Every structure is written in C-alpha cells, then in structure tokens.
Amino acid sequence: MRELTYAEALREGLRQAMAADERVFLLGEDIGAYGGAFGVTAGLLEEFGAERVRDTPISEAAIAGACIGAALTGMRPVGEIQFMDFVTLSMEQLVLQAAKIRFMFGGSASVPMVLRMPGGAGTGAAAQHSESLENWFVHVPGLKVVMPSTPYDAKGLLLAAIDDGNPVIFIEHKLLYKTRGVVPEAPYRVPLGQCQVVRDGCHVTVVATSAMVARALEAAAKLAEEGIELEVIDPRTLSPLDEAPIVASVKKTGRALIVHEAVRTGGYGGEIAARIVDSEAFDFLEAPVRRLAGLDMPVPYNRTLEYHMVPQVETIAAEARRLARLEY
C-alpha cells in the first residue's frame, strides 16, 4: 500500500482541502516560496497562488488574528506557527477571542480556523524552539486540541479539523515529519474526539500522545518478549477527550501508565490520571496510576541532556514492567 511521510500526508491533506473548497487558504511565516520551516507547504504556492498561500510578517499575533477575522467572515483559514514556542505571542487572540466568540455570541458567530504548529524536543533546537505546550490550550474551553502521531492520522485529522466549525490547535511533533506510514490517496476524515487503541494488551494500559505513541509501541514489543502485554492508547484529540476507551482498558488491565513529553507539572498526564480515578475504573486499579513525562526544566541544547529529559523507550519499558509486576 502507498506510504507517505508525516509531512507529505499533511501537505496532501492541505492540497485536497484547498482544491475542494475555495474558502480554505494558508498563512504563516515562510510558507510560500520557502515551503515552510519543515517543508510541509512546499509546492502549494505554485499550485494555488499567492492569494491562497500567504507569507506573513514575523508576527504570531497577526497570524492568529488574521485567522480569526477571516474565519468570522466565512473563510476557512489554516495558519502556521513556525515553532510552537512562538504561539505564546498569540495567546490573547486565541484565548480571549477565538475560544470565546462562539459562546459569547450564542452560536451566531463561529471561528472555523486551524492553527498548525510543530512542537517537541529531539532536534537540538534548545529551550526556545523545543517546547510541548499543549496543555495550555486544553485548559481553555472553546479550543479543540489535536496531536496526530502517524501519517494516516495527520492527514485525516487535519481534514476533519478544517471542516470543524471551531478553532482547532493542531500540534505536529518535529520528529514525526520524516516518519512513514500508509496513507490513502483519496480524502478521508479521522473524527475529532475519538481515541484509538493502537495495541491490544492485558497487563498495563499505556496512554501516550504524539511521538510517545511510537515509543510506547516499541516498549510494548520489548516487554512482550518477557510475557508482559501492554495495551497502548492514543487519544489523538486531547480536547475533547474520548475517555470511555481509556476507562474500559484500565478496568481490564488494572494498571495505567500515562506518557507525554511535556513537563510533568501541569501536564496532560495529570488530567488523564484524574479522569481514571474519577471513573468506575478506580475500583479496578491494582496499582497507583503512574505518569512519565518531561522533566520540569527548559529543554537543554546538549543532545545527551535533551535525550534524558523526555521519556524514551527504555524508561517507558522500565516503568511499565514495574507496574506489571506491582513493584511499588
């Protein structure tokens, strides 16, 4: 079957959305002739022209604000923030405007926009270009937050996000852009708000996000050789969260490990843990709910320090092994 990289899948999704709907247009820094910082929009300027692939000034507030204004007037903008870290400069537009307009106007106005941004560590880009800030947006009612982990989901979730009538924060891990996977050529949608059980297991439930999904699957393969079977779940959409499959899995395994790259304090793992404890799964737990996350520090430039700051295959395997054996 046909395989594409994660970046190619995103580009194909953008191309198909633009071809199908003239209201869809792109804006961001260096997305035109340069093709985007990570090459996702390469070739789209030549195909659709400068009116629909717009290079912007270096102003994240302007990108977000232009998306909001265009969406309010009936367009379907897809903005790009060059690095997730820089979205800090657009928080007023996103948190006070985009997230609240539909509610404040009683549904008579909506903001159907997508804001794409590459996040995560692993490229040696240091503290100002390597953050995982997804939980800032999960905290804001009115924003949807999406984190695809595979090329298939990247295309399908992006097309679904463009169709959605609400502002969607679309987070792409930089280490995933070159990963490959099966991607159908025809347009398709992966519905927002549906998590996926990506590996069946019976001993430990592992809920992992973004690049951590592949690491969790690799850890699961290693532990399977020891007779420990992990069930791996990818939320895909962090907000709204589809928690029912997670609860069902924890009821089956009695153990839960949550893995994400963002720092542990205030991270998404705390929300997942609370949802499990607040649910009927609590009575089935045989061990404390565990979290593996990034250390509470800025991302180091040094590659060795950066490696040890975030969960890796071996740390996921070690934590899951302890849970399976009840070594707490």
User: Cis (ω within 30 of 0) for the bond into 240?
Assistant: yes
Q: Look up tokens 């106005």; give the residue.
A: 109
Residue 43 makes CB contacts below 8 A (sequence gap 6+) with 11, 35
Q: Determine the residue type at 103.
A: F
Contact 234, 213 (CB under 8 A): yes
3-class SS of residue 279: coil
Question: Which among 307, 315, 316, 259 has a CA at the least distance from the CA of 130?
Answer: 307
CA atoms of 190 and 250, how far apart (whole Å): 24
Residue 246: name the closest of 225, 261, 268 by CA: 268
How far apart are the C-alpha atoms of 145 and 154, rounded to whole Å?
13
SS3 category, 23: coil
Quote the CA–CA distance of 106 and 307 in Å, as a whole number.
Answer: 47
Pairing of β 180-182 and β 230-234: unpaired
Distance CA 229, CA 164 (A): 37
Distance CA 265, CA 297 (A): 10
How many C-beta neighbours within 10 Å does residue 325 have?
12
- Residue pair 82/63 in contact (Cβ under 8 Å)? The answer is no
Interacting residues of 6 by C-beta distance below 8 A, sequence separation 6+: 148, 150, 151, 154, 172, 176, 177, 178, 179, 180, 181
Token couple for 161 = 């996000």
Say which of 129, 173, 203, 260 is annotated catalytic: 129
Q: Decide if 129 is catalytic.
A: yes
Residues annotated as catalytic (active site), given as ranges: 129
